[in-house]
Amino acid sequence: MWNQIKANMLDIPVKVLDDAETTVAGAALFGWYGVGEFNSPEEARAQIHYQYRYFYPQTEPEFIEEV
């Protein structure tokens, strides 16, 4: 709901990761880099394919119906 409110207030689409464990994923990426599995954090990041979720601005009546 918070991301929808941001999209409505800013009147722009909001793009967020559709994953609740982004902190864990980031730690794993740096861990792989730290033990030499990858040559750089960027190389480790390239191995992960994230899914995104988009929130588009809505008018108030539409938003109230969903809530």
pLDDT digits (tens, 9 = 90+) for 20-67: 888 898 899 999 999 999 999 999 989 888 889 999 999 766 655 666
For the chain, the domains span 2-66
17 phi and psi angles, rounded to 5 deg: -70, 135
Q: Strand pairing partners for 16?
A: 53
Strands 14-17 and 52-55: antiparallel
* pTM for this prediction: 0.58
Residue type (1 letter), 37? E
